């Protein structure tokens, strides 16, 4: 770094001093905190994004969002050149950067890192960062802080893409770096045209069936997702979607609404009620990267039947498997190709879903919580489907398989046009276009669910009957230091503090079909507890006993 560069960072960073006594950590989804604490961290992430762009010589994304957190929170995360999460190898630098106490410390840190990573400031393409934000009121000011951070790297270019869903920004980064059309209009066009293609491929005896193609009602979490879905819907022929909780009628972001609320509380979001019994409903989270479906339970004020990420995964897996099995019937053995299909879950996946997937003969893999881990694992397959129970997930297609499918459809369009094999390969190709290849995307996931339900001729109830969830309970426990909990085996066991896991085993044994674990949250200052068992009462008891154990072992509870 030359002196001019150092001086620029020194002067601009003095406008963004970090709050005293606050330690931030680049967790499961970047930095998240009360928005009033974040301007320094966001400014510094702007610097990091520009350096990452210089290092990778590619466009980097910077998203300002706190997803499903309350409206007064905000957050920031980076999208890497392939549209995925920031390389884990840079996370310690992000932590150090955000927590550097003074501008001088900051310069020192950047200087050392630039040397270590051999980042060149001259000679290559200048840094380029595209930025997006969700609808939070603090987003505008934080976006300015990020832009100033980017501008403190000489020659760096920042482009504000406006209010977006998180997956839209990730999609744009990926598209830009692949040299493809990458505007918001292009995003909508790609989703709508691949959706229409899949609709055209629905077997005719199914497309007229009643029950599967009636109205869908979507809860937009009072965030960005509802607004974008409204735009997208205009480009879909003949699909009827009613959107509620746009955030424009006094509703507050994520307050009593949204996918996180619906999945955790298992009750209807605001704006839904007994008049919706029997209707297919879906809920997005605040930045539209999570999706769950639900139906309002009959004769109950607010209870729902939840269709979570695990069941969305199961639906996707069934459909993909069906298409692959049609393709494998290709007579010409020379031309056939075995595609390796894998699914990825976390410990939060309901045990009944894992059993169901295994019974289908699928390979089920587990990773720790956080899409960066699931995504990485799913990318090992020709087709990798990953979902967190909370509704964040997608389907990844390897470049190799995509290339093979493209060649196959070309060949089949002349050799056996209209054949089942041609249709199956066209469907798979369309899915790879529709479903976001960068991150989980509620909008593209929702369109794929809608197509598959029609393809199968299923109502929401038919889908829900694939298997029955084991009753479960999630709790949060406030402790003095959540980092004292260290886990192993994809977070299924506690390695430290000593003795805690033994106590957990002893509690689990008391509950039929009991399964439970505890882990520190990566996005909130809490330890999370998860339990499932054969009855709701047993799951609740098990979760409560675990919460007590956590409290005992970690002491000094704050509340």
For residue 28, the SS3 value is strand
Dihedral angle of Cα 407, 412, 414, 419, to the nearest 10 degrees: -160
Q: Which does 285 bind (CB under 5 to 8 A by kind): Zn ion, ligand NG1, none?
A: Zn ion
Least separation in angstroms between CB 291 and ligand NG1: 12
The verdict on 521 binding ligand NG1 (CB under 6 A) reads yes
**Using CB under 6 A, which residues numbered 526 to 555 contact ligand NG1?**
528
For residue 218, the SS3 value is strand
The verdict on 13 binding ligand NG1 (CB under 6 A) reads no
> Which of 1, 9, 29, 146 is close enough to bind ligand NG1 by CB under 6 A?
29
> Which of 522, 527, 533, 547 is close enough to bind ligand NG1 by CB under 6 A?
522
Least separation in angstroms between CB 516 and ligand NG1: 13
Give 67 or 354: the residue with its C-beta nearer to Zn ion. Answer: 67
Least separation in angstroms between CB 67 and Zn ion: 3
Dihedral angle of Cα 423, 424, 430, 431, to the nearest 10 degrees: 150
Give 66 or 538: the residue with its C-beta nearer to ligand NG1. Answer: 66
The Cα–Cα gap between 171 and 376 comes to 17
Least separation in angstroms between CB 522 and ligand NG1: 3
Give 315 or 349: the residue with its C-beta nearer to ligand NG1. Answer: 349
The Cα–Cα gap between 436 and 167 comes to 8
**Using CB under 6 A, which residues numbered 38 to 97 contact ligand NG1?**
67
The verdict on 367 binding ligand NG1 (CB under 6 A) reads no
Span interacting with ligand NG1, options 315-323, 356-364, 385-393, 457-465, rule CB under 6 A = 385-393
> Which of 388, 422, 491, 532 is close enough to bind ligand NG1 by CB under 6 A?
388
Structure tokens belonging to residue 525 = 């200052």
Q: Would you call 314 a catalytic residue per the annotation?
A: no
Give 324 or 529: the residue with its C-beta nearer to ligand NG1. Answer: 529
Give 29 or 306: the residue with its C-beta nearer to ligand NG1. Answer: 29
Span interacting with ligand NG1, options 295-303, 375-383, 418-426, 521-529, rule CB under 6 A = 521-529
User: What is the C-alpha R_g of the chain?
Assistant: 24
Span interacting with ligand NG1, options 191-199, 394-402, 404-412, 523-531, rule CB under 6 A = 523-531
Catalytic residue among 67, 138, 192, 459: 67
Give 282 or 543: the residue with its C-beta nearer to Zn ion. Answer: 282
The verdict on 315 binding ligand NG1 (CB under 6 A) reads no
Span interacting with ligand NG1, options 134-142, 220-228, 337-345, 384-392, rule CB under 6 A = 384-392
Sheet harboring 341-345: ordered strands across?
A: 363-366, 341-345, 383-387, 393-397
Sheet harboring 280-284: ordered strands across?
A: 241-244, 216-219, 280-284, 291-296, 304-307
The DSSP code sequence of 96-131 is HHHH--SHHHHHHHHHHHHHHHT--SSSSPPPEEEE
The Cα–Cα gap between 485 and 139 comes to 33
DSSP state of 338: -
User: Strand (E) positions, 11-152?
Assistant: 31-34, 59-64, 73-79, 128-133
Picking from 181, 117, 169, the residue whose alpha carbon sits closest to that of residue 143 is 169
The verdict on 390 binding ligand NG1 (CB under 6 A) reads yes
The Cα–Cα gap between 266 and 292 comes to 11
For residue 190, say if its preceding peptide bond is cis, omega within 30 degrees of 0. Answer: no
Span interacting with ligand NG1, options 124-132, 229-237, 275-283, 516-524, rule CB under 6 A = 516-524
The Cα–Cα gap between 555 and 485 comes to 12
DSSP state of 178: T
Q: Which does 287 bind (CB under 5 to 8 A by kind): Zn ion, ligand NG1, none?
A: Zn ion
The Cα–Cα gap between 461 and 398 comes to 33
> Which of 170, 228, 244, 392 is close enough to bind ligand NG1 by CB under 6 A?
392
The set of residues, in sequence order, having a beta carbon less than 8 Å from that of 419 and lying 6+ positions away, is 412
Q: How many CB atoms lie within 10 A of CB 430?
A: 23
Structure tokens belonging to residue 461 = 């109830």
Give 67 or 295: the residue with its C-beta nearer to Zn ion. Answer: 67
> Which of 28, 192, 283, 432 is close enough to bind ligand NG1 by CB under 6 A?
28
- Residues in contact with ligand NG1, total (CB under 6 A)? 14
The set of residues, in sequence order, having a beta carbon less than 8 Å from that of 241 and lying 6+ positions away, is 215, 216, 217, 218, 229, 233
Q: Which does 524 bind (CB under 5 to 8 A by kind): ligand NG1, Zn ion, none?
A: ligand NG1
Question: Which residue's CB atom is positioned nearest to ligand NG1?
Answer: 522
Least separation in angstroms between CB 29 and ligand NG1: 4
> Which of 190, 369, 487, 545 is close enough to bind ligand NG1 by CB under 6 A?
369
Q: Which residues bind Zn ion (CB under 5 A)?
A: 67, 285, 287, 289
Least separation in angstroms between CB 391 and ligand NG1: 9
Least separation in angstroms between CB 287 and ligand NG1: 9
Least separation in angstroms between CB 397 and ligand NG1: 22
Q: Which does 388 bind (CB under 5 to 8 A by kind): Zn ion, ligand NG1, none?
A: ligand NG1
Q: How many CB atoms lie within 10 A of CB 186?
A: 14
| 227 in Cβ contact with 137 (< 8 Å) | no
**Using CB under 6 A, which residues numbered 325 to 364 contact ligand NG1?**
348
Judged on CB neighbours under 10 Å (0-12, 13-18, 19+), 260 is buried
Least separation in angstroms between CB 428 and ligand NG1: 27
> Which of 34, 433, 524, 540 is close enough to bind ligand NG1 by CB under 6 A?
524
Phi, psi of 3 (to 5 degrees): -65, -35
Catalytic residue annotation: 67
Interface with ligand NG1 (CB under 6 A): 28-29, 67, 348, 369-370, 388, 390, 392, 521-524, 528
């Amino acid at each position: 770094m030359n002196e001019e560069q150092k001086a620029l960072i020194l002067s601009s960073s003095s406008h963004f001093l970090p709050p005293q006594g606050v330690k931030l950590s680049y967790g499961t989804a970047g930095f998240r905190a009360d928005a009033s604490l974040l301007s320094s961290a966001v400014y510094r992430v702007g610097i990091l994004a520009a350096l990452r762009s210089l290092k990778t010589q590619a466009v980097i994304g910077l998203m300002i969002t706190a997803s499903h957190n309350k409206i007064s929170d905000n957050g920031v995360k980076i999208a890497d050149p392939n549209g995925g999460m920031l390389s884990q190898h840079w996370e310690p630098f992000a932590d150090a950067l955000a927590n550097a106490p003074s501008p001088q410390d900051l310069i020192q840190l950047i200087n050392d890192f630039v040397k270590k990573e051999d980042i060149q400031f001259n000679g290559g393409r200048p840094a380029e960062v595209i930025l997006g934000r969700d609808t939070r009121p603090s987003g505008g000011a934080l976006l300015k802080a990020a832009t100033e951070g980017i501008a403190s790297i000489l020659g760096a270019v920042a482009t504000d893409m406006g209010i977006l869903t998180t997956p839209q920004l990730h999609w744009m980064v990926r598209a830009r770096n692949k040299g493809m059309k990458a505007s918001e209009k292009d995003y909508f066009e790609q989703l709508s045209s691949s959706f229409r293609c899949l609709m055209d491929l629905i077997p005719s005896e199914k497309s007229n069936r009643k029950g599967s193609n009636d109205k869908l009602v979507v809860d937009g979490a009072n965030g960005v997702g509802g607004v974008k879905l409204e735009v997208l819907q205009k480009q879909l022929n003949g699909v009827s979607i009613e959107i509620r909780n746009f955030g424009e009628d006094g509703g507050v972001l994520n307050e009593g609404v949204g996918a996180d609320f619906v999945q955790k509380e298992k009750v209807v979001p605001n704006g839904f009620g007994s008049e919706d019994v029997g209707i297919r409903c879906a809920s997005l989270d605040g930045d539209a990267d999570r999706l769950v479906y639900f139906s309002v339970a009959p004769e109950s004020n607010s209870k729902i039947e939840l269709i979570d990420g695990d069941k969305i995964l199961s639906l996707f897996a069934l459909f993909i498997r069906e298409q692959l099995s049609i393709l494998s019937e290709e007579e010409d053995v020379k031309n056939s190709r075995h595609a390796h299909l894998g699914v990825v879950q976390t410990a939060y996946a309901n045990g009944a879903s894992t059993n169901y997937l295994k019974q289908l003969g699928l390979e089920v893999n587990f990773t720790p919580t956080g899409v960066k881990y699931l995504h990485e694992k799913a990318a090992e397959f020709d087709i990798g489907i990953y979902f967190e129970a909370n509704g964040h997930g997608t389907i990844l297609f390897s470049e190799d398989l995509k290339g093979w499918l493209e060649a196959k459809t070309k060949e089949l369009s002349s050799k056996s046009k209209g054949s089942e094999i041609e249709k199956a390969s066209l469907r798979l190709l369309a899915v790879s276009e529709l479903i976001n290849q960068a991150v989980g995307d509620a909008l593209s996931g929702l369109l794929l669910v809608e197509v598959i339900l029609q393809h199968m001729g299923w109502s929401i109830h038919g889908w829900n009957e694939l298997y029955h969830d084991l009753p479960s309970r999630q709790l949060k426990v406030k402790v003095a230091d959540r980092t004292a909990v260290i886990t192993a085996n994809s977070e299924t066991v506690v390695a430290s503090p000593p003795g805690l896991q033994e106590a957990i085993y002893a509690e689990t044994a008391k509950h039929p079909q009991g399964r439970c674990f505890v882990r520190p949250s990566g996005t909130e200052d809490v330890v999370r507890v998860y339990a499932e068992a054969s009855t709701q009462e047993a799951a609740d008891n098990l979760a409560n006993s675990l919460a007590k154990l956590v409290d005992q072992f970690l002491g000094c509870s704050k509340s």
